[in-house]
Amino acid sequence: RTLASPGGSVEGEIVIEQPPTKRARVEEVEEAEASAAQEAAAAEAASEAKAFEGVRKNRVACLGRLVRLAQRIERVWDAEDGVLRLALQEVFRDCLLSLRGHKDKDCAALAGLGEKMKSLDMDLRHFLTMALPIERQHTRGLRDDEFLVTRPDDLAVPGGAPAAAAAASA
């Protein structure tokens, strides 16, 4: 409330501060949590970038680190409003781009994927379309087409006896 003299000048001002509403307190807490999440994401992204830089020249370690980073991004895709995902995606893209001019031609070819990641605002399916070929081509695990599929029907001999029994009697 302001008290004014007849000449229009302000003689004094009384200000009554209202306590913050519950909504304002909740917003403050949410902002603090978001800030903490961003700081944590930035720290983790910096750690990943440093770890990649340490293995960049070693083909096997470099590819392994890229695969693990892509898997980590997939696991945290929907967590924390995407803050960590975006930070890790940026590191993933930067790692791929850093492979330009790599002495290994397979690693150098992966830099093209980094160039295709112009925007980090993509859905999970689009990200996996880019990341899965790296995993499939450069990991030692069996791919889908390398699994041997056997069924009991495949092992039966035309006479009705199983293949193992037929082999033992021969």
Closest to 74 in 3D by CA, of 53, 89, 56, 95: 89
> Average pLDDT in the 141-147 region?
55
Is-contact 147 156, C-beta < 8 A? no
* Spatial distance between the Cα atoms of 143 and 45, rounded to a whole number of angstroms: 29
How many whole angstroms separate alpha carbon 97 and alpha carbon 20? 48
Confidence of residue 6 (pLDDT cuts 50, 70, 90): low
- The burial of 90, by beta-carbon neighbours within 10 Å (0-12 exposed, 13-18 middle, 19 or more buried), is given as middle
Q: Residue range 27-48: average pLDDT?
A: 82
Calculate mean pLDDT across residues 9-17.
63
pLDDT value, residue 51:
92
pLDDT at residue 161 tops 70: no
Residue 34 has pLDDT above 90, yes or no: no
Q: What is the DSSP string of the chain?
A: -EEE-TTS-EEEE---PPPPPHHHHHHHHHHHHHHHHHHHHHHHHHHHHHHHHHHTTSHHHHHHHHHHHHHHHHHTTTGGGGHHHHHHHHHHHHHHHTTTT-SSHHHHHHHHHHHH---S---HHHHHHHHHHHHHHH--SPPGGGPPP--HHHHB-TTSSBHHHHHHH-
Check whether 13 has a pLDDT greater than 50.
Answer: yes
**Looking at residue 27, what is its pLDDT?**
73
Answer yes or no: is pLDDT of 165 > 60.
no
Q: How much is the pLDDT for 1?
A: 47
| 144: confidence class by pLDDT, cuts 50, 70, 90 | low
d(CA 166, CA 170): 6
Q: Which residue has the higher pLDDT, 147 or 113?
A: 113
Q: Which two tokens stand for residue 114?
A: 């980094």
pLDDT tens-place string over residues 57-107: 998 889 989 999 999 999 899 887 788 999 999 999 999 999 999 999 988
- The Cα diameter of the chain in Å comes to 123
**Residue 15 to residues 2, 12, 18, Cα–Cα distance (Å):** 8, 10, 9
